[in-house]
């Protein structure tokens, strides 16, 4: 396909996302698409994303992939992935514009149902997304949402059970499931835990774990992995909503509900007529139509996704967390509450 790069609409750890238009009528692509581009450092992640999206095609709740190519820009080889364009950007960006306010419960129910249908498809095809968060749920003009960013997605071995003995720690700390923190396990159950965190954030406008500004991310991982504390379920939520979240926030992943089970929960099994899609359209102000959706590295809730080699021989959670704090892993940098891996 011949195409022309447009405005930058987002930044990820490995990539820049921009709009793109076809320069000629080629293929069955929409005129306006998103292109996710990376240099050689992110090529493996982009190629993983492409192969996962190819396996997951034809699910309305998952962002479509139209192919890939490579270009040379400013002397650098760029790898490009062509994606369906979500004109409203991510839910994280939308929530930020609401300035700490939550969304109406009816809207959250609908978004949650959509993400669950996407997750059911991902899990049924034998994958785990591994990075469900508001930044990876994209919003369209008609008020629908789709799951994006499959750069960390993995094939799950066995019958939808979590991966064991994975050799890396991956994900976004605020959304990490206890088994991922403690045992390096990533699977469909961890996606459900992360969905619960996303639901709390949509409802309250605040992250599911309250964390003091400037505190070290390791203290959060210890709260998630060790002890009985659970993310705080918003008080004002309906009893159905509270019950739904209690099925997501089960520390024992074997007892946590699956996406398939949650789809039958009354919180999401609602008639679409109960929802107010038009509210969404009214709420979006003119200035929200700006295409840019940059990530701010200095706000706590933008703690980034990461992958990091860890020592798989450490069995106890305390040992494992201790090894992460000890500085034996030199690649971490933590500044202004922002975690990154180089």
Ligand X SMILES: Nc1ncnc2c1ncn2[C@@H]1O[C@H](COP(=O)(O)OP(=O)(O)OP(=O)(O)O)[C@@H](O)[C@H]1O
* Beta carbon nearer to ligand X, 80 or 90: 90
Among 271, 171, 280, which Cα is nearest to 221's?
Answer: 171
Q: Does residue 113 belong to the site contacting ligand X (CB under 6 A)?
A: no
Residues in 182-211 at the binding interface with ligand X, rule: CB under 6 A: none
* Beta carbon nearer to ligand X, 151 or 234: 151
Residues in 260-299 at the binding interface with ligand X, rule: CB under 6 A: 293
Q: Does residue 14 belong to the site contacting ligand X (CB under 6 A)?
A: yes
One residue of 113, 135, 173, 178 binding ligand X per CB under 6 A:
135
Annotated binding site for ATP: 36
Residues in 297-336 at the binding interface with ligand X, rule: CB under 6 A: 304-305
For the bound state, the minimum distance from the C-beta of residue 115 to ligand X, rounded and expressed in Å, comes to 15
Comparing every residue's Cβ against ligand X, the nearest one is: 12
Which sequence positions are flagged as catalytic? Answer: 131
Q: Does residue 93 belong to the site contacting ligand X (CB under 6 A)?
A: yes
Q: Does residue 86 belong to the site contacting ligand X (CB under 6 A)?
A: yes
One residue of 89, 102, 171, 317 binding ligand X per CB under 6 A:
89
Which range of residues in 118-126, 143-151, 161-169, 268-276 is near ligand X by CB under 6 A? 143-151
Q: Taking phi first (over 0 means left), then psi (-120 to 50 degrees means alpha), and beta for anything else, what does residue 252 get? A: beta
Binding footprint of ligand X, residue count (CB under 6 A): 27
One residue of 3, 29, 85, 175 binding ligand X per CB under 6 A:
85
Q: Using CB under 6 A as the criterion, what x/- string covers residues 218-257 for binding ligand X?
A: ----------------------------------------
CA distance 79 to 68: 7
Among 150, 188, 190, 148, which Cα is nearest to 169's?
Answer: 190
Q: Using CB under 6 A as the criterion, what x/- string covers residues 144-163 for binding ligand X?
A: ----xx-x------------
- Per CB under 6 A, residues contacting ligand X are 9-15, 17, 34, 36, 63, 83-86, 89-90, 93, 135-136, 138, 148-149, 151, 293, 304-305
């Amino acid at each position: 396909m011949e195409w022309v790069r447009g405005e930058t609409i987002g930044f990820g750890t490995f990539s820049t996302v921009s709009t793109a238009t076809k320069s000629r009528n080629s293929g069955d692509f929409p005129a306006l698409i998103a292109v996710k581009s990376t240099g050689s450092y992110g090529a493996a992640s982009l190629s993983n994303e492409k192969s996962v999206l190819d396996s997951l095609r034809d699910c309305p709740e998952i962002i479509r992939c139209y192919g890939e190519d490579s270009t040379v820009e400013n002397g650098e080889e760029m790898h490009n992935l062509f994606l369906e364009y979500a004109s409203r950007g991510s839910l994280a960006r939308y929530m930020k514009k609401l300035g700490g306010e939550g969304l109406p419960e009816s809207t959250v129910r609908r978004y949650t149902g959509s993400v669950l249908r996407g997750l059911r498809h991902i899990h049924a095809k034998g994958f785990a997304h591994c990075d469900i968060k508001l930044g990876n749920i994209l919003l369209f003009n008609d008020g629908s949402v789709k799951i994006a960013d499959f750069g960390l997605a993995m094939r799950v071995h066995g019958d939808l059970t979590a991966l064991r003995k994975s050799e890396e720690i991956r994900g976004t700390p605020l959304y990490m499931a206890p088994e991922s923190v403690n045992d390096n396990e990533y699977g469909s159950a961890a996606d459900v835990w992360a969905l619960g965190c996303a639901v709390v954030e949509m409802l309250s406008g605040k992250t599911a774990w309250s964390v003091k500004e400037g505190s070290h991310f390791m203290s959060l991982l210890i709260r998630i992995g060790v002890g009985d504390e659970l993310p705080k379920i918003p008080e004002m939520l309906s009893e159905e909503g509270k019950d739904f979240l209690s099925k997501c926030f089960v520390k024992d992943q074997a007892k946590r509900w699956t996406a398939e089970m949650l789809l039958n929960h009354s919180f999401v099994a609602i008639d679409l007529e109960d929802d107010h899609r038009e509210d969404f359209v009214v709420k979006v102000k003119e200035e929200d139509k700006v295409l840019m959706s940059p990530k701010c590295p200095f706000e706590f809730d933008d703690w980034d996704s990461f992958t990091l080699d860890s020592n798989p021989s450490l069995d106890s959670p305390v040992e494992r967390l201790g090894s992460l704090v000890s500085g034996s892993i030199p690649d971490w940098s933590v500044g202004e509450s922002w975690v990154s891996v180089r």
